[in-house]
Amino acid sequence: MSLCPKLMITKLSLRPSLVVLIYRMMKSWVPKSPKDFVPLYQDFENFYNRNLYMRIRDSWNRPICSVPGAKVDMMERVSHDYNWTFTYTGRVIKDIINMGSYNYLGFAQKAGTCQEAAAKVLSQYGAGVCSTRQEMGNLDKHEELEKLVARFLGVESAMAYGMGFATNSMNIPALVGKGCLILSDELNHASLVLGARLSGATIRIFKHNNMQSLEKLLKDAIVHGQPRTRRPWKKILILVEGIYSMEGSIVRLPEVIALKKKYKSYLYLDEAHSIGALGPTGRGVVEYFGLSPEDVDVMMGTFTKSFGAAGGYIGGKKELIDYLRTYSHSAVYATSLSPPVVEQIITSMKCIMGEDGTTVGVNCLLYLRSLNTDLS
């Protein structure tokens, strides 16, 4: 009887060692990457995918076969090998509650004003442009969209892009490079992180929405300059989001702008989740705080959320947009926005602005605001 407690203690003390041993054995089973090649997966990613994610994989990446409304239709699938592969049964599961869509204002529908306008443009222009904006892919619809976006934002000029992610990842490298400094919020989106890394600029991270952390980095940047040479930075660019999608927090924009002005730096604002949904008339976090668009050097946003479409935009001074039209990889090499998609954006934006002659956009904003109030 006296040995039992000791045995129990020994067993408990061995458990952590056993876990480590098992992990090391599994690590040794993973084939090593060839010399001089970057590994495709880290060891922990392999461990997570095989032993955790695979068990619950059926809960993710399930294809839907309807518009992303409040309820969606989903294709039924089964697995006979513990979620390694799936087989579709041919059945459709109806009226699944949609808890993960970006369709904030409900414009991504199969009927209504937006759908009718997009269908009309589809019959006139076709589905694709098959060229870049600098060659044969610049349509009158693209020009109309960019003028409308500039007016909606209250800026001098704007440019539209075919992909929201690429709007960040391909334009940041055109704005900063070697000898420049990027100050990035620690919870910024992957597109901002990738764009910063591709730029070749030095990157420093400040704590999420922490103005003391940001100001300390700005002070250090001004005082010490570039490493080794101590020369002043060519540019200092602050990267923030309007609404951080995974946390739901709103950027402390008035304080960020105050610091930007104090230390003579530039501000890049990603309004992917706030444009169209935040502010009295849906003009984003700048309107929400009652600030001037002129205080933000680069206003970026996407059309994939509130406008129920695809693509992104950058707005700002005319000199900035003219520069990006020439030097942005996304502008020079990427295919132009599809005409029906452009029309979807134009129609939904006019609805939000109240220029369609109805109160549809206003009602959508009021309904979204009431939901936020109820949830809070």
Question: How far is Cα 218 from Cα 224, in angstroms, rounded to an integer?
Answer: 10
What CA–CA distances, in Å, run from 54 to 41, 51, 58, 302, 320?
A: 16, 6, 8, 32, 46
| 303 neighbors 145 (Cβ within 8 angstroms) | no
Burial class of residue 342 in the structure, from the number of CB atoms within 10 Å of its CB (0-12 exposed, 13-18 middle, 19+ buried): buried
Residues 6+ apart with CB under 8 A from 239: 172, 182, 183, 184, 185, 188, 192, 196, 268, 270
**Nearest alpha carbon to residue 308 among 276, 332, 338, 333:** 276
Element (H, E) at 175: helix 172-175
Query: Phi, psi at residue 332, to the nearest 5°?
Result: -80, -40
Q: From CA 255, how far away is CA 258, in angstroms rounded?
A: 5
Return left, alpha or beta for 253; rule: phi > 0 is left, psi -120 to 50 is alpha, else beta: alpha
Task: Report residue 90: phi and psi, to 5°.
Answer: 95, -10
- State the catalytic residues: 245, 273, 305
β partners of residue 96: 72
Residue with tokens 């997570």: 48
Joined together, the tokens standing for residue 317 give 């001074």
Q: Output the six-digit token pair for 290.
A: 């009652």
